[in-house]
Amino acid sequence: MSIDDGKITDWSDYYDGLTSRVRSAGLQIISSVSVSGTSRSLTEVQALFRFDGANINKRLHEVWNALIPVPEIKELYDASYAQLMKDKGITSDSKPAI
């Protein structure tokens, strides 16, 4: 983004950054569900119930790996989910990029 005398001169970079932030916030909201009246992420639901089949653990890793480049998502993952996934055995057959 270019700023000249306090005015944005390159709107394409600004728009790309803004839409990226909006998409990542939307993904955070979409990836949560209500369990017993409490909003929980899909990762937390899997940690609680440990569903088998459908490669759920692997798919959770794929989703996290796709979202990790967004700084806010990486911060959320590092602060809340990395240790939870490790403690609950939510592992992937493929080597995670995180």
Along the 98 residues of the chain, how does pLDDT read in single tens digits?
445 555 656 666 666 666 666 666 666 655 666 666 777 888 888 888 888 888 889 988 888 888 788 787 788 889 888 999 999 999 986 444 44
- Measured CA to CA, the distance from residue 41 to residue 44 in angstroms comes to 5
Q: Is residue 98 part of a domain?
A: no
Residue ranges making up the domain that contains 32: 3-87
The string of DSSP codes covering 7-69 is EE--HHHHHHHHHHHHHHHHHHHHTEEEETTEEEEHHHHHHHH---STTHHHHHHHHHHHHTT
- Measured CA to CA, the distance from residue 56 to residue 47 in angstroms comes to 11
pTM: 0.61
- The number of distinct structural domains making up the chain is 1
What is the structure's pLDDT at 84?
A: 92
What is the structure's pLDDT at 52?
A: 84
| Token pair of 57 as six digits | 């653990």
Q: Is residue 31 part of a domain?
A: yes
- Measured CA to CA, the distance from residue 81 to residue 34 in angstroms comes to 18
Q: Is residue 92 part of a domain?
A: no
Q: Is residue 41 part of a domain?
A: yes
Which residues face 33 on adjacent strands? 40
